[in-house]
Structure 1
C-alpha cells in the first residue's frame, strides 16, 4: 500500500454532530442581546412591536422557529376525504 492511500490519524475529526459553529453561536447571542436592549430589557415587548409594524418579516421569522412537524392526537385523528363527481354540461342549471 502506498503512502498516499493512508489518511492522517485525525481525519474526519471535527465538531460533534449537532454542535454549533462558534461564529454562529456568537452571532445568535448578539442578536438576542440586541433584541433585549431594543425592548428596554423585554424581548417580548420588542418582538410584539415588530409583529405589529413589520408583519411580513415577523411571519418569516415565526416560520423559522415553529416546529416542522405537527403531531396530531392519535385518539382523535384528522380525517381528510375527497369527493369526486363528474359534472356534464347538460347537468348544469345555468
Structure 2
C-alpha cells in the first residue's frame, strides 16, 4: 500500500496542490491563469491515480489498457509481486 500512496506522482500532485492553496491565501484575485493552474493540478492528480490503479491491476494479473504506461510490463510486475509476497 505504501508503494502506491508514497509514489512520486501522488507526492508531486499533493505538493502542487499545497502550493496552489498557499497562493489562494494571499488574497490574489482569481484569474484565468489560476483557473488553468487548478485544472492542470486536477489532471495531474487524475493521471497519478490512474497510474496507481493500472499498476495494481497489472500486479494482480488483470487487464491494463494499451495506452497505460505499464502496458506490456504486466509479467514483470506480476513476478515482482509474487516475489514480495
- Between structure 1 and structure 2, the one with the greater Rg is 1
TM over 0.5: no
TM-score by length of 2: 0.29
- Compute the TM-score of the two structures, normalised by the length of structure 1: 0.26
The structure whose residues are more often helix, as a share, is: 2
Structure having greater relative contact order (Cα 8 Å, sep ≥ 6): 2
